[in-house]
Structure 1
Amino acid sequence: MGEAMPRRQVLESLSGLLLVLFVAMISSTVVSTALPLIIGSLNGSQTQYTWVVTATLLAATASTPIWGKLADLFNKKTLVQIAIVIFLAGSIASGFAQNADQLIAARAFQGLGVGGLQALVQVVIAAIIPPLERGRYNGYLGGVMAVATVGGPLLGGLIVDVPWLGWRWCFWVGVPIAILAFVVLQKTLKLDTVRRSDVHIDYLGASLIAVGVSTLLIWVSFVGNSFDWVSWQTGAMAGGGLLVLAVAVLVESKAREPVVPLHIVRTRTAALAIIGSLSVGLAMFGGAVFLGQYFQVGRGYSPTEAGLLTIPMMGGVLVSSTIAGRMISRSGRIKPYIVTGSIVLVAGFVGLGTIDHATALPLVATYMLLVGVGVGMTMQNLVLIVQNSVPLRDLGAASASVTFFRSLGGTIGVSVLGAVLANRVTHDLTAAFGGHGLTQGDGGTSALNLAALPPQVQEVVRTVYGDATAHIFVISAAAAVVSVIAALLLRPVTLRNTIDLEKTKDDQVVTDPVVG
């Protein structure tokens, strides 16, 4: 499949893929503004709040490399539809959850489908559109991302604010969209079926990666609260997680069909793009997840109002991804936009690191706009620059590898920043209430269930959450600095105008050196 598809056929196929991307993104954004109320109604804790998000990201992260490898071996269209079915089952189960633990488990299953959708959409688009033209279509992707990210919080806020709907519809609202995406893809997407007799999936490597990452994230969530930093639990969990990941690297180096192909990720372009994606994912997911909580718990706004207040960030994603995508397609140059976007991302998070419970909203909106612009200029383009450097046969694994590390960064970000926020809030509430803190002992009430607290206590909780949130944005800014360094070290490349790498023998990225 070395030749590009006609534009009309591309647009027809793209319509189904955009629906898939939309349903995957809205599954997270529609919950973002509603999550404080959801966890409050289930009498969950700040740690459980974090894990409702982390569970989905972790499952998506662990499964992404497998989906990518499967895309190199089997029919991509069928795999997308399988991922949609898994996503549907997880969404329905999430809506029926009766407590926070059930919700976390259902969200983890939903994450398996999300991992497939976010990886496979990138792979299929790369299989039908040359890199040079892909910048223009990335504008469409950016538009869908912006609609999902702007509309999702608003929709989630409206759902929980309407009494006859309730928060469970935050999970069920994506079901009809996913079904529509399944039907549209069945009618529009036409791809060749790959038939190979030597199919081998590295389940051992994938399992080791999942276990290693999960162990470290569980350790981060509980260290400093349930046990000390220097303790046997820390040694067992942190040391054990790192040991498992070391074994995973060894397994991947010897596997016949590794889920994370080391010969790809060790090239200079891929390695730097992965480092950039890891830090962008940590900053973006880790920071953005807690904005809804900041506006509701820290500032006292309703879920709908919190969704409206996040529009500047999502608008920045829409505008920057659309404009940058068209300019990249016109010039074929991509590095300047990644460098600029990463710098703007740092500036935005530095600004958010100065906010508290009383910061003027126009100032907060300006900082969020900068974050959105930075994300829009970097996220998709870090995937694109790697896709430009690999042959068609490795496209699925290469795309999934970048997506994997971006999701891993997001998972780490949500978990680490959530733990930092939880510890900070616990410390400040304990100090505010004379050393006693605010526990769930009285009537099962948590700090996130503000409606059940006395007005004077509500005011203290709002102040503590509003002031504590700035600390996690400072950490996000530090992580984003890493993406700036990685972007500056990228080699300048000109995007090729063919589907497969072999067609462009003079392209400088063909001989991309191996790191180390």
Structure 2
Amino acid sequence: MSAPSSTMPHRQVMEALSGLLLVLFVAMASSTIVSTALPKIIGSLNGSQTQYTWVVTATLLTATASTPIWGKLADLYSKKLLIQISIVVFVLGSIVAGLSQTAGQLIAARAFQGLGMGGVQALVQVAIAAMIPPRERGRYNGYLGGVMALATVGGPLLGGLIVDTSWLGWRWCFFIGAPIAVIALVVLQKTLNLAVVRRDDVKVDYLGATLIAVGVSILLIWVSFVDSSFAWLSWQTAAMVGAGLVILAAAIRVESRVAEPVVPLDIVRQRTTALAIIASLAVGMAMFGGAVFLGQYFQIGRGYSPTEAGLLTIPMMAGVLVSSTISGRMISKSGRLKPYIVTGTLILVVGFAGLSVLDHDTPLWYVGTAMALVGVGVGMSMQNLVLAVQNTVSLKDIGVASSSVAFFRSLGGTIGVSVLGAVLANRVTATLTQELPAAASGSSGTSSLNLAALPESVQHIVRAAYGDATGHIFLISAAIAVVGVIAAALMNPTALRSTVDLPEPAAEREPALSN
């Protein structure tokens, strides 16, 4: 059954959006609130750089693995109910994370929290697509970008204030999201009303989703430990890489055979979708992988407090807010999408190239300028890549199409955090081994991230090691972002449609991307 093509009244859309945007704010803030607090959190738990990376990676990994399932369920059942369920899962994970006593417990809790975050981030996009035609969606994407910018700016600031306030402590970085999520549930119950089309003859491809999650997890675990726990050319590498690739090959085979795959290959092979996925992978790897370590750079590499580190990230978030709002309105006015995506990815490359020369003495005005360029690039490209795919599929496939792009973007972010985190850890360890063998070996039992427990002379060496190593990972981010530019440039310049669903005669699939 096709949804009506007429648009909802603006007031009704804004009422529904109020709940959706509040939900998105909760999910986004839960990630960014940790970014500036994480050095102190891991330091207080006496964790390692690898565990620092995995606190972020675990959340991204489970969010990535669950995104296709949430998207498929959204095509079968109540989108509103699924959003509410994902919020409950997120709240439970937040509470458990706040009660963690070790870095390992925190990683496990964040992994569970990621299941809810994946649902929220995917389903908000699906719900918006079910309400608003693509031509009008650019205008509302400005609101979406504003909320993302607010959460990304407010999160680090709030996280910094919490860990810098003695009577609160870092655990409130996780607890504080619970009341906001409850408010979001109440608002959603009153404002979000979407038609539910039940299809009892359809089954969710849990086997395919499980194989994808397991295959990706094995490869990410290998990336995190290779060259530190074992060599690149070793039986461990052969076993883990071989197993990961075999499982992913099995997942592709399953997805090609089942009636309702979580990542439908016929949609993925369409030119627009395929290129948007490649660009999303690149943007996700560059943005998530790079931005996660900015808070660490300012605190460990430059010696700023968590609150100051949050303030120093404002240029990047301001860039996201301004560019997403302006480009969204211009896209709605012109109906053209490709020029903004191409421009955004180009600016992203320039921003990361600027950050690639960072060390522990780089002037802050220069860092802020480069960060602002990164934010502008993200604001012009990330949401619009989802819109490009939504514009090419019918309403009945909007959930799985949206979640497919979100899946690969999140996958790119997960890979980026793991790879860049491993590179950073290896470079820091090599520097400390050369400059300070005792600190590098960990013989004192104190984490290098717990600066307050280290002698002042040692603190200087650790700061220089982290500050100088950070520029190298941003150079890798810039190289990855170039792939996004190429993919965006190859996309077809399709005009945005003005209906929620495709007209019946035009509901056929796009031709597959030719080799």
Judge same fold: TM > 0.5, yes or no: yes
1:295-334 correspondence runs (5 A): 295-334=298-337
Q: Is residue 144 of structure 1 aligned with residue 147 of structure 2?
A: yes
Q: Match for residue 409 of structure 2?
A: 406
Letter in 1 for 2:241: A
Please tell me whether the aligned partners of residues 270 and 510 of structure 2 are also in contact (alpha carbons under 8 angstroms).
no
Please tell me whether the aligned partners of residues 43 and 449 of structure 1 are also in contact (alpha carbons under 8 angstroms).
yes
Letter in 1 for 2:370: Y
Letter in 2 for 1:347: V
Q: Match for residue 222 of structure 2?
A: 219
Cα deviation, residue 6, structure 1: 1.5
The alignment yields a C-alpha RMSD, in angstroms, of 1.1
Please tell me whether the aligned partners of residues 270 and 509 of structure 2 are also in contact (alpha carbons under 8 angstroms).
no
Q: Match for residue 500 of structure 2?
A: 499
Q: Is residue 480 of structure 1 aligned with residue 481 of structure 2?
A: yes
Q: Match for residue 126 of structure 2?
A: 123
Cα deviation, residue 311, structure 1: 0.2
How many residues align structurally? 512
Please tell me whether the aligned partners of residues 426 and 437 of structure 1 are also in contact (alpha carbons under 8 angstroms).
no
Q: Match for residue 282 of structure 1?
A: 285
Letter in 2 for 1:467: D
Q: Deviations over 1:445-485 (max 9, x none)?
A: 10000000000000000001000011110110011000000
Match of 1:165 among 150, 168, 174: 168
Please tell me whether the aligned partners of residues 271 and 515 of structure 1 are also in contact (alpha carbons under 8 angstroms).
no
| Unmatched tracts of structure 1, length 5 or more | none
Q: Deviations over 1:183-242 (max 9, x none)?
A: 100000011122112120100000000000000000000000000000000000011101
User: Cα gap change, 1:515/1:259 in structure 2, threshold over 3 Å: closer, same or farther?
Assistant: farther
Please tell me whether the aligned partners of residues 211 and 247 of structure 2 are also in contact (alpha carbons under 8 angstroms).
yes
CA distance in 1, matches of 2:247, 2:510: 33
Letter in 1 for 2:446: T
Please tell me whether the aligned partners of residues 65 and 401 of structure 1 are also in contact (alpha carbons under 8 angstroms).
yes
Match of 1:184 among 171, 176, 187: 187
Q: Match for residue 471 of structure 2?
A: 470
Letter in 2 for 1:403: A
Match of 2:269 among 266, 269, 272: 266
1:33 is paired with a residue whose SS is helix
Cα deviation, residue 9, structure 1: 0.9
Please tell me whether the aligned partners of residues 32 and 155 of structure 2 are also in contact (alpha carbons under 8 angstroms).
yes
1:471 is paired with a residue whose SS is helix
1:61-460 correspondence runs (5 A): 61-433=64-436, 435-442=437-444, 444-460=445-461
Cα deviation, residue 256, structure 1: 1.1
Q: Deviations over 1:83-110 (max 9, x none)?
A: 0000000000000000000000000000
CA distance in 2, matches of 1:504, 1:19: 37
CA distance in 2, matches of 1:31, 1:513: 41
Please tell me whether the aligned partners of residues 501 and 510 of structure 1 are also in contact (alpha carbons under 8 angstroms).
no
Please tell me whether the aligned partners of residues 4 and 129 of structure 1 are also in contact (alpha carbons under 8 angstroms).
yes
1:7-86 correspondence runs (5 A): 7-86=10-89
User: Cα gap change, 1:492/1:504 in structure 2, threshold over 3 Å: closer, same or farther?
Assistant: farther
Please tell me whether the aligned partners of residues 320 and 376 of structure 1 are also in contact (alpha carbons under 8 angstroms).
yes
Moved over 4 A (4+): none
Please tell me whether the aligned partners of residues 271 and 510 of structure 2 are also in contact (alpha carbons under 8 angstroms).
no
Please tell me whether the aligned partners of residues 69 and 209 of structure 2 are also in contact (alpha carbons under 8 angstroms).
yes
Cα deviation, residue 5, structure 1: 1.5
Q: Deviations over 1:56-93 (max 9, x none)?
A: 00000000000000000001000000000000000000
CA distance in 1, matches of 2:394, 2:460: 58
Please tell me whether the aligned partners of residues 498 and 504 of structure 1 are also in contact (alpha carbons under 8 angstroms).
no
Letter in 2 for 1:441: S
CA distance in 1, matches of 2:186, 2:201: 31
CA distance in 1, matches of 2:483, 2:511: 22
Please tell me whether the aligned partners of residues 267 and 515 of structure 1 are also in contact (alpha carbons under 8 angstroms).
no
Cα deviation, residue 440, structure 1: 3.3
Letter in 2 for 1:188: T
Please tell me whether the aligned partners of residues 433 and 441 of structure 2 are also in contact (alpha carbons under 8 angstroms).
no
Q: Is residue 461 of structure 1 aligned with residue 465 of structure 2?
A: no
Please tell me whether the aligned partners of residues 439 and 446 of structure 1 are also in contact (alpha carbons under 8 angstroms).
no
CA distance in 2, matches of 1:515, 1:447: 50
CA distance in 1, matches of 2:202, 2:23: 27
Letter in 1 for 2:347: V
CA distance in 2, matches of 1:189, 1:464: 50
CA distance in 1, matches of 2:305, 2:38: 12
Please tell me whether the aligned partners of residues 439 and 445 of structure 1 are also in contact (alpha carbons under 8 angstroms).
no
Letter in 2 for 1:393: K
CA distance in 2, matches of 1:425, 1:238: 25
Letter in 2 for 1:124: A
Letter in 1 for 2:496: L
Q: Deviations over 1:108-128 (max 9, x none)?
A: 000000000000000000000
CA distance in 2, matches of 1:473, 1:421: 10
Letter in 1 for 2:443: G
Q: TM-score, normalised by structure 1?
A: 0.98
1:501 is paired with a residue whose SS is coil
Please tell me whether the aligned partners of residues 301 and 360 of structure 2 are also in contact (alpha carbons under 8 angstroms).
yes
